[in-house]
Amino acid sequence: MQRREFLTTGLASGLALTGLFAADAARAQSARGPSFDPVLVRTRADVAANELHVLPDAFMVYWTMPGGVAMRYRCGVGRPGLYESGEFYVGAKKEWPSWTPTPEMIERDPASYAQYADGVPGGPDNPLGARAIYLFQEGRGDTFLRIHGTNAPGTIGSAVSNGCARLINSEIIDLYERVAMRARVVLHPKANGSA
C-alpha cells in the first residue's frame, strides 16, 4: 500500500469513527443529564481495538476494545486556539504525576502560571490529577499534550484547558489501566475547524 493510499484510508477511517462516536455522544448528552460513569458502547466490528479517540465537540473520550465495543468517558478539552487535533501515540504514563506549566502557558497567563514555574509535585492538589497519559508524535517526541485527571471536576464538559483532555480522577484511573504504551491516540478536529 502506498503512503498516499494509506493516509487516505486512514483519514476515511477516522472520519467514519468520528461519525459513529458523535452519534453515540449526541444520544448520551440528550439523556437525563451528564453521567461521570464510564459507559460501554457498541462500535462497528471493523473499528480497530486498543485506540483512544477524543471528540472535542462532544467532550467524550473513547477507548476501543475487541468485539465491536468501546468504553466512553466524559472529558474537558482545550479552549479555543489551544486544542490540537491529530494522531499521536502513548509515549509515557504516570501515576500522580508532577506538573510544570510550559513556557508558553506562563507567557500567555503569568498571573496564573508563573508561581508554578518550578513545578507542582504529584498529589490531590496537582492539576494533572491522579493519572496522566502523555501524547507523543513520531519525529516530534513529547507534544506536552496529555489525557489526565483533574482536581477541578466542574470543568468536565467544557473547553477550558491549555490543550489537554481531562477526566475526573476515578475515570482517568479506569482508563489508565486499560491503555498500553504506544497505543494510537486520535484527537479529532473540532467541527468548526478551530483546531
Q: Which helix (H) or strand (E) holds 170?
A: helix 169-178
Active site residues: 148, 164
Q: Which long-range contacts (CB under 8 A, 24 or more apart) does 149-154 make?
A: 149/173, 150/76, 151/124, 151/125, 151/126, 151/127, 152/127, 153/36
Sign of CA dihedral 69, 36, 24, 161: negative
**Residue bearing cell 490540537:** 84
Residue 126 CB neighbours (<10 A): 21
How many Å is the maximal CA-CA distance in the chain?
A: 51
Alpha carbon distances (Å) from 168 to 14, 48, 69, 79, 111? 26, 26, 22, 18, 25
Distance between CA atoms of 20 and 114, rounded to whole angstroms? 41
DSSP of 125-150, one letter per residue? TSTTTTEEEEEEETTTEEEEEEEE--
